[in-house]
């Protein structure tokens, strides 16, 4: 069986690693890894490959940044001849980034089978580019691998036949489980006893100057009582600079490698984020997470995990922060099938 994996952006890398490993252990499978180059900085891409033990991609499409249309079109144009020549039995795509949707479109039109790992998540907010990517990819995919029960229900409601849906659990948690011991060796002695770890990169939060100013003001307040450590996505750093905003005493860092970030995550007093994956990682680790978004495509992190949606309401953020600091943080549990074996289950389905 010939399998082609397509990745492009940072959150794809921790998801492809366990599937690559699980398939490597099975006989008769030839794997090809294609990187679209959506993320290209060393600290957004290369270092993740190294730390996660992902082989150097067989093909790099080097598409780089651009508007959504330009980036998506560029990925499609450059990918088409590659997959047309390879003629794989299945193309696997991951998550909800532009590379995921662009690949699904190209392969569906070439009559190539597509498997979507992390299918079925829905925020029901079509202003998010990722929601569009999720909807399109899931309609086109032939095999849909979901992380949790809500994913299955969303797909069934959208008319996807149940035979195409496989609940395998959370592949990103596989990477976390495998590398947590190594991550715990990072930042052992260089951290304040209590700190808030912050990440922000959603266009809705960082592309508008008054919204970003409001969030930074809130973080500066948090920083009065609790050190704020803020590894900033290149987009966020650029916006802070372009809008002439002041991050004051916040410890703004460059994006961190996987192990370094996980080393902070597992020790954080709390996390403030607008990321998707970090809502899941904090739920797994039992670390309180305040999500600066009005909705989430990962509702299980709220219903079962440690996640609280605070939206962009500074009052709500302050209230929830006070609860954590008073020792009354929300308690949670680890959702079913977030057990480090999801990649194995994907491989089993493919082989079957
Ligand atoms: C993408 C995903 C998002 C994911 C995020 C994780 C889409 C629609 N969005 O958003 O779901 O949560 O990755 O990081 O696919 N840039 C660099 N260096 C890089 C990559 C990007 O400087 O290596 C800068 C560029 O200015 C670029 C901007 O970041 O224009 C945004 O990059 P892009 O890939 O368009 O989207 P992300 O915001 O990273």
| CATH number, position 58 | 3.40.50.2000
Distance 39 CA to ligand 1 centre (A): 6
Do 193 and 73 lie in one domain? The reply is: no
Do 227 and 266 lie in one domain? The reply is: yes
- In three-state secondary structure terms, 61 is coil
Mutate to test the pocket of ligand 1, among 39, 104, 257 (most ligand atoms within 8 A of CB): 39
Structural domain count, the chain = 2
Do 156 and 247 lie in one domain? The reply is: no
- Token pair, residue 317, equals 């953020």
Question: Tens digit of pLDDT for each residue in 313-323?
Answer: 888 998 999 99
Question: Tens digit of pLDDT for each residue in 128-142?
Answer: 999 999 999 999 999
- Rounded Cα distance between 29 and 18, Å, is 15
Asked if residue 293 is part of any domain, the answer here is yes
Tell me, using a 6 A CB cutoff, whether residue 204 lines ligand 1: no
Q: Using N-to-C axis directions, what is the helix angle for 171-183 and 342-351, rounded to 10°?
A: 140
Asked if residue 43 is part of any domain, the answer here is yes
Place of tokens 């992380």: 147
Asked if residue 343 is part of any domain, the answer here is yes
What does pTM read for this prediction? Answer: 0.97
All residues at 6 or more sequence positions from 111 whose CB lies less than 8 Å from its CB, including other chains: none
Domain range for 192: 182-325
Tell me, using a 6 A CB cutoff, whether residue 98 lines ligand 1: yes
Tell me, using a 6 A CB cutoff, whether residue 205 lines ligand 1: no
Tell me, using a 6 A CB cutoff, whether residue 231 lines ligand 1: no
Q: Using N-to-C axis directions, what is the helix angle for 209-225 and 234-242, rounded to 10°?
A: 100
Tell me, using a 6 A CB cutoff, whether residue 44 lines ligand 1: yes
Do 265 and 242 lie in one domain? The reply is: yes
Asked if residue 135 is part of any domain, the answer here is yes
Asked if residue 126 is part of any domain, the answer here is yes
Q: Kindly report the average pLDDT of the chain as a whole number.
A: 97
- Token pair, residue 213, equals 């100013």
201 in catalytic set: yes
CA dihedral (170, 274, 119, 100) positive or negative:
negative
What number does the ligand 1 atom closest to the CA of 40 have?
23
Mutate to test the pocket of ligand 1, among 8, 9, 71, 205 (most ligand atoms within 8 A of CB): 9
pLDDT 10s digit of each residue in the chain, 352 long? 999 999 999 999 999 999 999 999 999 999 999 999 999 999 999 999 999 999 999 999 999 999 999 999 999 999 999 999 999 999 999 999 999 999 999 999 999 999 999 999 999 999 999 999 999 999 999 999 999 999 999 999 999 999 999 999 999 999 999 999 999 999 888 899 999 999 999 999 999 999 999 999 999 999 998 999 999 999 999 999 999 998 989 999 999 999 999 999 999 999 999 999 999 999 999 999 999 999 999 999 999 999 999 998 888 998 999 999 999 999 999 999 999 999 999 999 999 9
């Amino acid at each position: 069986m010939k399998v082609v994996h397509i990745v492009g952006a940072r959150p794809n890398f921790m998801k492809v690693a366990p599937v690559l490993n699980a398939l490597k252990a099975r006989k008769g499978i030839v794997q090809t890894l294609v990187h679209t180059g959506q993320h290209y900085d060393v600290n957004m891409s290369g270092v993740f490959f190294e730390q996660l033990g992902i082989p150097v991609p067989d093909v790099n499409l080097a598409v780089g940044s651009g508007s959504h249309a330009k980036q998506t079109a560029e990925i499609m144009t450059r990918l088409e001849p590659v997959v047309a020549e390879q003629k794989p039995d299945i193309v696997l795509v991951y998550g909800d980034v532009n590379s995921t949707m662009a690949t699904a479109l190209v392969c569906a039109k070439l009559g190539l089978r597509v498997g979507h790992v992390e299918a079925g998540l829905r925020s029901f907010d079509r202003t998010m580019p990722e929601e569009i990517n999720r909807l399109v990819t899931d309609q086109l995919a032939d095999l849909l691998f979901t992380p949790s029960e809500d994913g299955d229900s969303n797909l069934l409601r959208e008319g996807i036949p149940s035979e195409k849906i496989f609940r395998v659990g959370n592949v990103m948690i596989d990477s976390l489980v495998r590398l947590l011991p190594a991550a715990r060796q990072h930042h052992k002695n260089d951290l304040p006893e209590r700190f808030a770890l912050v990440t922000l990169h959603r266009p809705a939060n960082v592309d508008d100057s008054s919204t970003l100013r409001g969030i930074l003001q809130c973080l500066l307040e948090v920083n009065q009582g609790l050190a704020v450590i803020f590894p900033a996505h290149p987009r966020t750093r650029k916006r802070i600079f372009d809008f002439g905003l002041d991050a004051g005493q916040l410890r703004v860092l460059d994006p961190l490698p996987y192990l370094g970030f996980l080393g902070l995550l597992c020790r954080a007093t709390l996390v403030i984020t607008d990321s998707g994956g970090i809502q899941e990682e904090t739920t797994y680790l039992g670390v309180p997470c305040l999500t600066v978004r009005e909705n989430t495509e990962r509702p299980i992190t709220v219903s079962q995990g440690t996640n609280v949606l605070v939206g962009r309401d500074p009052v709500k953020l302050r209230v929830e922060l006070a609860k954590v600091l008073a020792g009354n943080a929300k308690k949670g549990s680890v959702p079913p099938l977030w057990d480090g074996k999801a990649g194995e289950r994907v491989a089993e389905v493919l082989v079957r």
